[in-house]
Structure 1
């Protein structure tokens, strides 16, 4: 495509305004769908025409020598025609934008004020709560100090109480031991009492024929066995235990109730009386001990555990007792040659296991 020198061609039509631009011999046209828009078409160079219709302030304006005054005139007319609507539209848009911005500013300002009031209210509430918490903390610290003091006092008293409790526990164990021993003694006494009651019941229904086994002698509610051989005191005691009996205990007999065969016999018999050592009793009143001496730790006891309550007629160093001619006398029983006859006794009754 060839290009010629720049040329401008403008054509105005009263019915449809048209602007022709010719550049270098090639024309480009722009048609507007609006009746007032310019339309560009190819026109020969250096040609324009005016229809003679009055448009704005430009009249009967033509040129054939390329003067652009007419073009500028019509451009100014079109500018003034669109300037007012565009200005009004711009003003409206600015006004709407200003109102919108003002409304936004007002909303933001109000929101900030509300937030500030809420913040101030929350700050006041938190300040009051903080002061209340501080007062509560001070009160708690005072109570904690008082509680610590009370705890120390209680701990000190607890230590003292623990020492007292330990002492009382020791005393309690001692008392419980004594009580247990006393209970055992009571049970033993109760057992003896029950046996005595049973013996009394048997004696009430007992006859002289069947109350004692063969070879035994009934005397004052007792069955007596008189041995015919001599043994030591310990062996004699064992022989009595084999027959469910014990060595003779005469604590309930007086001199006038001793059997005749014992009162007239010159033969000594072992009986159930022996000297024992019990350091927790003082039996200095016995004839075996010197009444003026300080210690009296040894005493005479029957084989049933009861104390011999009558003093000797004469002092002796014997450790066991015999009965001869109706009298009780001490005798030596520590050696294997200390041999005597013995007498066993047990309660009379037909239901006893005699063997």
Structure 2
């Protein structure tokens, strides 16, 4: 493969004096340009003028080279001076740093020696503390053993205390049971005494009633127009009145409206002298404060019979078909008066 070769000549030209009068001719501006040389194959002999010019050019080239070399040497000297100054400063700084480091190392060596002494003292104190700790541990073990023995004794004492407490509680329960039994016996005794008194009273009442019954069988114990029934004298009215007027009519005869004791309405209704087709006022009435049923003798109603209602409901009780009904107190009906039977009743 063929390659081409190109040759170029450099020529430095000084600026003419007339173009730069204010400057030193020796400091004229140098320029360079590419000069197309003559063909290699053309060789000619230079003229004297051209030889002189060529010599001048070479002189200037030498001067320029010398100036460039001086400038380079000056620059190198300045660089070396600056570098020497920098190295000197660094060396001085390193020397000062070394001195400070030596002083600091000396101080640290002193501190290290002091620290070493303190460390030795601390180790000695640590050994002493360890010995004291071992002694404390031994004492603690002995105390722990004593405490364990004390706990065992306390446990035994606690068990004995609990056992005694249980025995005490059992004794208290037995005492309480005995007291309850005693109290129950006293209550039973009091109840039996009350029952005895009640039975005695009932016996006396029954005896009186039996005597009255025997007497009334032999002699009329009720006034004329009154019927003897259940140890009472009853009068069945013919006239019809309100409940209030019926009560007043009974009072006018020293009696009161019927109180169904000790027999029920059904038992009275089955008597032969009762008209089964009518209704009768009896001495039972509702009061408001507190709301309850009261007999005219002031006692409360304790019967188990159901109390119904009639068409005109109210607060007064009538007896109808062997049952009790609440009706308006202002309705007019027949009524039943009662008084105690007595052999001394006027005929």
Give the TM-score taking structure 2 as reference length: 0.38
Greater RCO, CA 8 A, separation 6+: 2
More helix by share: 2
Q: TM-score, normalised by structure 1?
A: 0.37
